[in-house]
Structure 1
Amino acid sequence: MAKRTICVAAAIICITATQTSAATFNNIIIEKLNSESALELSETNDTSKIYNLDEVVVVSQPKEALLLRQQPLSSAMFTSSEINSIGITDLSSLACYVPSFVMPAYGSRLTSSMYIRGIGSRVNNPAIGIYLDGVPLVNKTAFNIHTYQIARADILRGPQGTLYGMNTEGGLIRLYSKDPMTYQGTDLHIGIGTHFQRDIEAAHFGKINNNTAFSIAGFYSGSNGFFRNTTTGERADNYNEAGGKMRLTTKLTNRLTADITADYQYVRQNAFPYGQLNLETNRPDAPSANRQSNYTRNMLNTGLNLKYQAERFTLNSTTSYQFLDDCMKMDQDYLAADLMHMEQRQLMNAITQELTIRNNTHGKWKRATGLYGSYQWLRTDAPVFFDKDFTGRISDGIQTVMYNAILKSMTDKMVAAGMPQTAAEKAAAAAIEKAGGISVDANMKVPATFNTPQFNIGVYHESNINITDKLTATLGLRYDYNRVKVHYDTYATMAITANVMGQSMTNTLTSVLNNASHDNYSQLLPKVGLSYTIDSKGSNVYATICKGYRAGGYNIQMFSDILQHELNENNNKAMTGSYDIPHTQADYDEISNTISYKPEESWNYEVGAHINLFDNKMHADLAAYYMQIRNQQLSVMAGEYGFGRMMVNAGKSISWGFEAALRGSAFNNYLSWSAGYGLTRATFKEYNETSDNTEISYNGKRVPFIPMHTANARADYKIKINGSAIKSVVIGADVTAQGRIYWNEANTYSQPFYALVGAHTDVNFSDVSLKLWCRNLTDTHYNTFAFDSSASGQTVYLAQRGTPIQAGFDINIHF
């Protein structure tokens, strides 16, 4: 009991220190508490209290004055032990255990789509933000990363624009690495699973002296994949990835601390394992593209966090540099036919700077004020190649027109000379054939380079005012300014070589587009919230109103479609000679209007509760929300031919729902469990589309890619073993579920509700643990993504099957 009391007291002292002393505030303080003790966490200037379960990971936040479950928002928090127990290595696996949050693992690591409460994005700007060790990741391509050596993960649901700005309309994810100031030693992880899944991680945490600590870590992960391309014979989804990260934390003076981080990751994978979908059975065929798609990415994220702790205020500065160099190669028709393929190479450099000042004084008014700025340079090279099965259709069409014209001309002359019509046609055809016949060959290419820089600046303030001992008001406002620009340099050429009765001629049809456009957007992002403490254990209810938005921009994916349309509209002009399609300023203005899309805006109205029950043995977090979305951004197939996806503004939509998350312990803390459920109903309110001169209304239809139901449950039971080298055995099981998910705006096909079951057994020694795990035990068939494409000339339905049953074995060592 004495040991238990000392441990609890130490944790309270550490937590209080984060509010009142000049200790290392950028660090994460981790204290393991005895499971039979209830830990009471309190801030010296807050009357409300938070009760946590067996593990506490306290994070000093430069912006928020209140602890997470004191704030008027819906949130989830995962500690290091929970992350390890579930076996989380990326955000897509973490999302399965959070209500109303999905991150489908489809396509490639380029495709990092996330959806919270019906808000999300497949392409262009994200709708959910990510902060990694205090650094905001600015490019969506960098979101789907390997996560390791994580001490804590926070998921905040609902708009977070007041404190975090644009592209946090659906929510925010915060990831924190283990802190070498409070965690020392060496960790080693080795894992192997079916389909030759292999994982190796190593990390060392050490102190140079009492004021300076460091960590260095590295990983390698790979898999032979689950699906084979039936046309090429290659694995359609195998991958290899590796990386390393370092962290240096130092106390420069009694008041000033510095925290430097760097994280590099490399991935090379076969990608986009889509097969043709049978709508009746809802099962896709194996991938069959004639070209194997793949994706390669090099990425570096660095950050410098400085914290100055004065008596009356704390000043935080976060500076980051982010680099990304990637290459995607895609068979755009996903079929065995050789129709078209593309490459996309991105080169990004970005810098961010944020300054936040927060008061430390005791009293009823806690406030934070900040200034944020970022600049992103992004160059994209995206050539599109039209292959023989596509150009063959053009060649055949032109050849048929030419042949019929020459045949008619010769036949008419013979008929005029007195020959019967039928005989004249046969004679003309024979003469053409004898002279060498008529053949046409078309060759097309669409090289393209795009520069799309973005500049963003925001200034914000948030106050938390204790109106009474139990009632706290949260008032916040942000002004956000965003400038987006596109400079495109692209062209399309179609070289038509005609061999006409022994004579050859090549004509070239060309369309060149070289211009620039820019837009400026500004937003006011308010937040108003009330929190009321309802008991002495820190339980509270809240209500909040806040605004969020996702930035506008330009669809560079559309240019191949625009250029191809221009070539087809003018191909008759290449019959008599080469032709360059002219463009006026009016043409460029029309292109600018076509490729641009507006920011998406939303208002979130929410009520909820954070409740501590049964002497702190259970937590319940409840929320109900109603969201109004204007200028809904929607990912659709581009233009007439569907050469890739683009973003459009789909009018208005409404999303409403309910979230419940429970977690607790029982049987003297030998049993730990959690469960969650989210209901999301996202529907179009005003969305009309014109197709073949017919207006189609999608009003009342469900927004695609959003599951209506998300659910999860997990339980771990620990069996202690005395008098043995084995200290304990943990037996656990979990289930995650989601659905129904509609795949298009018309809601004509969908993925029904499905559930995945997993299990694991851990054998724990003093410094070694062994884990046997299995995922998708029932080998449930489901699709993670489906879409339709007209790139082949007819509508084809394609889908990616979800991961089948997996099993593996992990070894974790700490010394």
Structure 2
Amino acid sequence: MHCKLTAIPLLLLASAAAGRTAGGKAPGTEAADTVIVVDKVQVTAIKQGLVLRSQPVAASIVGSRAIERRHIGALKNLSQTVPNFHVPDYGSRMTSSIYVRGLGARIDQPVIGLNIDNVPVLNKDNFDTELADAERIEVLRGPQSTLYGRNTMGGVVNVYTLSPLAYQGVRLTAEYGSGDSYRFRASSYYKLSPDLGMAVTGYYTHTGGFFDNQYTGEKCDWERLGGGRWKTQWRNRRGLRIDNTLSFSVLDQGGYPYAYVGEEIVHDGQTVIRKGEISCNDPCSYRRTTISDGLTVRYDAEKFAVSSITSYQYSDDEMILDQDFTPLSYFTLKQARREHTVTEDVVFRSRDGRRYGWLFGAFGFYRRGTMDAPVHFKRTGIEKLILENANISPDLVYTMDADELPLYSDFRMPSYGAALYHESRFTLGHWRITAGIRADYERTRLRYHSKAGMDYSLSVNGGAPAPIRIDIDETNEIAHSYTEILPKFSAMYCFDEVRNLYISIARGYKAGGFNTQMFSDILQEKIKWQMASGIPYDEPDLMSYKPEYSWNYELGGHFSCLDGVVRGDFAVFWIDVRDQQLTVFPEGTATGRMMTNAGRTRSAGAEAALQFTPWRSLEINAAYGYTDARFVRYDNGIEDFKDNRIPYAPQHTFSAGAAWTVPTGVAWLGDLVLQAGIRCAGRIWWNEENSLSQPFYALTDASVRFEHKHYSLDIWSRNLTGTNYNVFYFKSIGNEFVQRGRPRTFGITLNINI
């Protein structure tokens, strides 16, 4: 079949974009932009070119209409619809785990970057937030470290919100769904003058919950989230643009609906928890307050553009866990963290359309974080985890009368970094050659204070118990510096503006860090060691973990056939990873989790996405990703995991969907839109031994929507077939737990555009 040029001049694209917003038409009703599409003019993009599909990168673009129709309010709603992009929804909004092409992270450093209106979100714990009035979401897969730096070795997600200079009016949203869930959002976009626009947005979401805590008889995954955004844009018509976005959010939720999956636990002759039950006697919750302000100043000269992106980010959160997740009184954790972050990114780039293009940039950040993480051992925990381990000789009997043993740890975590980066682009006939390099420096420090006090008695050979006290009070500091050189190279052959083939080689980098969640285990070991020997405990080297590095080799392309009726993208890749960071649970009855580095891993795979539009009324989308991610060299001292699959990253992701638009013939009713789709993932291995896994599963979604220029009414369902599946697995003190995926849900959504 012959594929020919789908020529779309930039002027026509700009006119289409302007015509879309003229007269206040809602951005959710334009007839373009789905998962794969020829982009509109991306006037908000600073580091990419005008059209992502003409760049040597695997990218998926979700436009405003798809965002509204698919109810994409957070990154996790993109899971599986983007090839090899998996975001499991478990725990709380703090977890924010993202897996791309076999790479991922459950705690600490993310594998993918997030930018909202060009402002980087450095704290992974803040990734799962409401993306209110998002106009476009770009998911770039593969290392983006040369332009974006640390923690983007899996890619970058760029979110752009609606501009008050492009759209004016009032937007209202009300939604109600299963689990006593409802959502409200209101926003106003208006111009104070032809060159000055302002937008104010507010939102509130409520979820009653889907999972029952058998111990309390109440829902454990309830949620309350509210927030707002104030966006101001000014243009002087001589190339100067100033954008400022101030946003905040307040979150309070239960979460952590972890079901026990081992044999039933019997305590004092009674069964306290059975397989499949969620039963916690102590509270589990998460709260978070965030404030962010981003200022972008851009000047477009005749031959170049210069941009300054300045941000301040504040986060204050608190996690409370019944950390044994059973009705027994083992121990609880309260982790309270506060962080201030300042970033600055200055970018100089040549104007597009020239044979030689260039980009220079400088980036810097400073983060100042504090965290208090006390662990409280309760009676069962004292007996099972401390006294039973100490009473190993009949001649020495340890006893303790207290019902609670607090272990205190507080941390100060300042870090800062700076980078210089450059990219050159050459156009030689049909060839486009790109080469870039980044020099990145980071300094990170951990100051910690650990304290514990314990009174107990020791009886020797049946004698009278002698009272003994242990006091541990330690302060110390760990610091690391990293200097990284991150190059990339690509060559692309362009048949025309929308059909091309490319090869690329790029180095990725993920920062190292500190295992703060292991400090309670270390304190526990110090107490047991001093009880048994009376001498100080020589702690192992578990405090920190090293950075992770990758080389990504990729062959891909973009194509368009039949005058744009068929459009698509594909890529095959090989990723060689050194010191891959893995979250592990130490052997035995350890209470914490830690990050460690595997010696070497590799990930090979392929991905493809296709959009078929045989008529204007029918759109069909499909996306598939395959990843074979395995250990090349990893021996934890107990077992060699060579050739085993890497946990938590799905082997397959697949999605397919269709939307059929039927005019009703009634002016006030608008069009009838029928949608159906399927999202799939699996197999997902849960451990390094590859002994436990979640098989391939499929979730079916459907909706019936009435769509008018000024409103839409949507009746929808997710997981329509009620598929049972697990999204997470872990161990705590030797017990196994999973989180089930959400059950079948229904809802109704009303959008009004005035």
Question: TM-score, normalized by length of structure 2?
Answer: 0.92
Q: Deviation digits for residues 228-273 of structure 1, max 9, x if unmatched?
A: 1001222111111111011000125623211000111111111211
Q: CA RMSD in A?
A: 2.7
- Pairwise mapping of residues 356-375 of structure 1 onto structure 2 (< 5 A)? 356-360=347-351, 363-375=354-366
1:217 and 2:201 correspond:
yes
Q: 1:479 aligns with which of 439, 458, 462?
A: 439
Identity percentage of aligned residues = 34
Q: Secondary structure at the match of 2:198?
A: strand
Mark the runs of 5 or more structure 1 residues left unpaired by the alignment. Answer: 1-6, 18-28, 39-50, 407-437, 575-580
Count of residues in correspondence between the two structures: 727
- Pairwise mapping of residues 687-706 of structure 1 onto structure 2 (< 5 A)? 687-690=634-637, 695-706=638-649
**Distance in structure 1 (CA, Å) of the matches to 2:282 and 2:304:** 59
Tell me: CA distance 1:232–1:211, structure 2 relative to 1, closer, same or farther (3 Å): same
- Pairwise mapping of residues 231-242 of structure 1 onto structure 2 (< 5 A)? 231-242=215-226
Q: Which residue of 2 aligns with 1:526?
A: 487
Using the TM superposition, give the Cα deviation of residue 727 of structure 1 relative to its aligned residue in structure 2, in angstroms: 1.3
Q: Which residue of 1 aligns with 2:296?
A: 305
Using the TM superposition, give the Cα deviation of residue 300 of structure 1 relative to its aligned residue in structure 2, in angstroms: 1.2
Q: Which residue of 2 aligns with 1:466?
A: 427
**Distance in structure 2 (CA, Å) of the matches to 1:34 and 1:109:** 33
Tell me: CA distance 1:316–1:523, structure 2 relative to 1, closer, same or farther (3 Å): same
Tell me: CA distance 1:611–1:330, structure 2 relative to 1, closer, same or farther (3 Å): same
Contact 2:252 2:286 in 1 (8 A): yes
Q: Secondary structure at the match of 2:636?
A: strand
Using the TM superposition, give the Cα deviation of residue 15 of structure 1 relative to its aligned residue in structure 2, in angstroms: 8.8
- Pairwise mapping of residues 173-184 of structure 1 onto structure 2 (< 5 A)? 173-184=157-168
1:633 and 2:581 correspond:
yes
Q: Which amino acid aligns with 1:646?
A: M
Q: Deviation digits for residues 527-584 of structure 1, max 9, x if unmatched?
A: 10011112x462001100000010011111111111111111111367xxxxxx658x
Using the TM superposition, give the Cα deviation of residue 737 of structure 1 relative to its aligned residue in structure 2, in angstroms: 0.2
**Distance in structure 2 (CA, Å) of the matches to 1:330 and 1:239:** 16
Q: Which residue of 2 aligns with 1:447?
A: 408
Q: Which amino acid aligns with 1:496?
A: Y
Using the TM superposition, give the Cα deviation of residue 701 of structure 1 relative to its aligned residue in structure 2, in angstroms: 0.4
Q: Which residue of 1 aligns with 2:228?
A: 244
**Distance in structure 1 (CA, Å) of the matches to 2:275 and 2:119:** 40
Q: 2:335 aligns with which of 332, 344, 356?
A: 344
Q: 2:469 aligns with which of 493, 508, 522?
A: 508
Q: Which residue of 2 aligns with 1:267?
A: 251
Q: Deviation digits for residues 274-318 of structure 1, max 9, x if unmatched?
A: 0112699xx961311211210000011210000112222111000
**Distance in structure 2 (CA, Å) of the matches to 1:570 and 1:180:** 65
**Distance in structure 1 (CA, Å) of the matches to 2:224 and 2:455:** 40
Tell me: CA distance 1:780–1:210, structure 2 relative to 1, closer, same or farther (3 Å): same
Q: 1:571 aligns with which of 531, 536, 545?
A: 531
Q: Which amino acid aligns with 2:738?
A: A
Question: TM-score, normalized by length of structure 1?
Answer: 0.85
Contact 1:548 1:603 in 2 (8 A): yes
Q: Which moved more, 1:167-176 or 1:766-775?
A: 766-775
1:324 and 2:278 correspond:
no
Q: Which amino acid aligns with 2:474?
A: L
**Distance in structure 1 (CA, Å) of the matches to 2:746 and 2:130:** 20
Q: Which residue of 2 aligns with 1:675?
A: 622
**Distance in structure 1 (CA, Å) of the matches to 2:689 and 2:392:** 38
Contact 1:30 1:182 in 2 (8 A): no
Q: Deviation digits for residues 449-504 of structure 1, max 9, x if unmatched?
A: 01111211111011110022x11001100011111110011122222157999988
**Distance in structure 2 (CA, Å) of the matches to 1:203 and 1:731:** 27
**Distance in structure 2 (CA, Å) of the matches to 1:158 and 1:402:** 56
**Distance in structure 1 (CA, Å) of the matches to 2:173 and 2:345:** 35
Q: Which amino acid aligns with 2:324?
A: D
Q: Which moved more, 1:447-456 or 1:500-509?
A: 500-509
**Distance in structure 2 (CA, Å) of the matches to 1:545 and 1:396:** 55
Using the TM superposition, give the Cα deviation of residue 766 of structure 1 relative to its aligned residue in structure 2, in angstroms: 3.9
1:602 and 2:550 correspond:
yes
Q: Which amino acid aligns with 2:354?
A: G
Contact 2:29 2:709 in 1 (8 A): no
Contact 2:530 2:536 in 1 (8 A): no
Contact 1:619 1:664 in 2 (8 A): yes
**Distance in structure 1 (CA, Å) of the matches to 2:700 and 2:323:** 34
1:804 and 2:738 correspond:
no
Contact 2:41 2:51 in 1 (8 A): no
Q: Which amino acid aligns with 1:787?
A: F
**Distance in structure 2 (CA, Å) of the matches to 1:376 and 1:352:** 9
- Pairwise mapping of residues 578-589 of structure 1 onto structure 2 (< 5 A)? 582=536
**Distance in structure 1 (CA, Å) of the matches to 2:28 and 2:217:** 52
Runs of 4+ aligned residues of structure 1 deviating over 3 Å after TM superposition are 7-17, 29-35, 393-406, 497-506, 638-641
Tell me: CA distance 1:639–1:460, structure 2 relative to 1, closer, same or farther (3 Å): farther
**Distance in structure 2 (CA, Å) of the matches to 1:34 and 1:573:** 74
- Pairwise mapping of residues 732-811 of structure 1 onto structure 2 (< 5 A)? 732-789=675-732, 791=733, 795-811=734-750
Using the TM superposition, give the Cα deviation of residue 736 of structure 1 relative to its aligned residue in structure 2, in angstroms: 0.1
**Distance in structure 2 (CA, Å) of the matches to 1:32 and 1:457:** 42
Q: Which amino acid aligns with 2:109?
A: N
More helix by share: 1
Q: Deviation digits for residues 69-120 of structure 1, max 9, x if unmatched?
A: 1111111000010011111111111123101001111000110110100111
Q: Which residue of 2 aligns with 1:707?
A: 650
Q: Which amino acid aligns with 2:743?
A: P
Q: Which residue of 2 aligns with 1:720?
A: 663
Contact 2:30 2:65 in 1 (8 A): no
Q: Which residue of 1 aligns with 2:21?
A: none
**Distance in structure 1 (CA, Å) of the matches to 2:328 and 2:642:** 37
Contact 1:252 1:258 in 2 (8 A): no
Q: Secondary structure at the match of 2:639?
A: strand
Contact 2:389 2:528 in 1 (8 A): no
Using the TM superposition, give the Cα deviation of residue 769 of structure 1 relative to its aligned residue in structure 2, in angstroms: 1.1
Mark the runs of 5 or more structure 2 residues left unpaired by the alignment. Answer: 1-7, 19-25, 265-273
Q: Which amino acid aligns with 1:98?
A: V
Q: Which moved more, 1:555-564 or 1:317-326?
A: 555-564
Q: Which amino acid aligns with 1:613?
A: C
Q: Which residue of 2 aligns with 1:430?
A: none
Q: 1:125 aligns with which of 87, 105, 109?
A: 109
Contact 1:354 1:373 in 2 (8 A): yes
Tell me: CA distance 1:570–1:728, structure 2 relative to 1, closer, same or farther (3 Å): same
Q: Which amino acid aligns with 2:276?
A: D
**Distance in structure 1 (CA, Å) of the matches to 2:290 and 2:488:** 34
Contact 2:225 2:249 in 1 (8 A): yes
Using the TM superposition, give the Cα deviation of residue 328 of structure 1 relative to its aligned residue in structure 2, in angstroms: 0.2
Q: Which residue of 2 aligns with 1:656?
A: 604
